[in-house]
Amino acid sequence: MINPDEIQKIREDFPILHETVRDGKKLVYLDNAATTQKPKQVVDAISEYYLKYNANVHRGIHALSEIASDMYDEAHQRVSDFLNAGFKEVAFVRNTTEALNVFTYGYEKFISKGDEIVVSRMEHHSNMIPFMKLAERTGATFKYIELNEDNSELDLTSAEEVITDKTKIVSVPHMSNVLGTINPVKKLADITHDAGALFVLDGAQSVPHMKVDVKDLKVDFMGFSGHKMMAPMGSGGFYGREELLDKLEPLFYGGDMIKVVTYKDVTWNDLPWKFEAGTPNVGGGIGLGAAVEYLQKLTMNKVRGIEHYLTKYAMKRLTEYDWVRTYGPSSIEKRGGVISFNVYNNDGMLIHPHDVATLLDEEGIAIRAGHHCAQPLTVEKLCIPATNRMSFYIYNTTEEIDFTIDQLERVHKMFS
C-alpha cells in the first residue's frame, strides 16, 4: 500500500515541482513519458563534476582526469548493475533513438535480401524507422506483429505467425508510450529465439519505471534514455550481449574508441568504449549514475508501486465520465503509468487534443497532446488524429489527478 506521505517526501527532492507557471498557477507536471524532472541529488552530482573535477576522461594522467575517469567508469558500473548486465555490455549514448540506430547500422552486414525484420504495430518512430530503413538498404522483408481486436495489446498468435525461420531481428517496445501496454517480453523473446533471431527491446518507457533484468528477459540488445529516468537530457545507453557487441560495427569513429591505429589499419578499443567515440557527455553520464543511485535507494518495486497506485486511481476517475475515452488495456496490471485519452463534447464530437492541452496549460497542467511519435499507431490503427496523454512518475499525487480531471470537466462544458 502506498502512503501519500511517502510521495510528499519524494517531492521535496524536486524543486521545480514547487515552481509556478502561467501567471502564478501551481505546476502540475503530468508529461513524464516525454521527460522526467530531476532531483537535487542528480543536479548536485552534475554540478560537482563541473565545479570540482571537470576534465576529459581516459586521456590524461593528471589528477582531475583521473577523478573524472573514475567517476565516469563508476557510473557505467552502476548502470550495468542496475540492468543486471556486465560492465562491457553497457555503453553510454545520447538516448534510445541513438542506441537503436547504433544497432541497425552495426548489424547491417549480417542482413541480406530475403531475410525478415519484425517490429510491432505499436512502435515509437525510434523503434520503427531505423529497422524500416535497414530493411530498405538490405532488401530484407519488413513485417509487423499485429494488435488484438481493440488495439490495446500485441497479438501473440500473430507474433508466432509473423516470426519465421527467415526472421533475423525482432524489436518491440517493453511498454507502449501511447497505450501504456506492458508487453509480454519473455514470451516474445522465446518465440524470437526459437526462430533463431535476435530479440531487441525498446526500453525507453520501462527502464525508468520497473525492474528490468536483461538476463531474465533474455534480451539481446536494448536501448534506454536517461532523461526519462531523472538523468539529464543527452544521457542514455544501450545493453548488448558481449558476443553480439563484439560483432557490431561501431557507428562513430574517432578518439577513445580505438586501441591501435596505423596509417593502414585500426583496432577497436575494448567494450564498452568501442561505441563511445570522441569526448563523451561525462557530466551526463555521472548524472545518469546518480539517477540510478536514487532509484536504487527508492527501489524499483516502490517506483512501480507508486505508478500503479496513481494509474489505478486516474483510470477509475476517468471512466466515471462517458465523454472520456481511454486507450490501452482495461487491466491495470497490464499497464504502466501512461494514460492516453480523448475528450468529446455532448454531440459526440472530438475536442481536439491540442485544444484540451492548451486549456489545461492555462491552469498550470502539463500533459502531452499529439500522436506521441507513434503516428502510424495513432492515425492508422486507432483512427484518430491525436490523443491527450497524462503520464506519471514517483512525485505525482492523487490531488494533481483530481485537479486535472476538474479542468477536463471545465473543457467539456466549454465545448458542449
Please, what are the domains in the chain?
4-30+299-415 (3.90.1150.10), 43-297 (3.40.640.10)
CB-facing half-sphere around the CA of 246: CA atoms within 13 A? 3
Catalytic, 373? Answer: yes
Q: Return the DSSP state at 387.
A: E
Residue of 373, 374, 408, 411 with catalytic role: 373
State pLDDT tens for residues 338-375.
999 999 999 999 999 999 999 999 999 999 999 999 99
Q: Strand ranges (DSSP E) for 59-105?
A: 90-93
State pLDDT tens for residues 150-194.
999 999 999 999 999 999 999 999 999 999 999 999 999 999 999
Q: Is the dihedral of CA 27, 363, 390, 384 positive or negative?
A: negative
Mean pLDDT of the chain: 97
State pLDDT tens for residues 16-63.
999 999 989 999 999 999 999 999 999 999 999 999 999 999 988 999
Look up cell 462517458; give the residue. Answer: 322
Maximum pairwise Cα distance, the chain: 73
Rounded to whole angstroms, the Cα distance separating 213 from 219 reads: 9
How much is the pLDDT for 60? 86
Q: Is the dihedral of CA 176, 178, 180, 184 positive or negative?
A: negative
Q: What is the pTM of this model?
A: 0.96
How much is the pLDDT for 59? 87
Q: Show Cβ contacts of residue 200 under 8 Å, excluding neighbours closer than 6 positions.
A: 100, 103, 169, 170, 171, 172, 219, 220, 221, 222
State pLDDT tens for residues 271-318.
999 999 999 999 999 999 999 999 999 999 999 999 999 999 999 999
Rounded to whole angstroms, the Cα distance separating 390 from 368 reads: 7
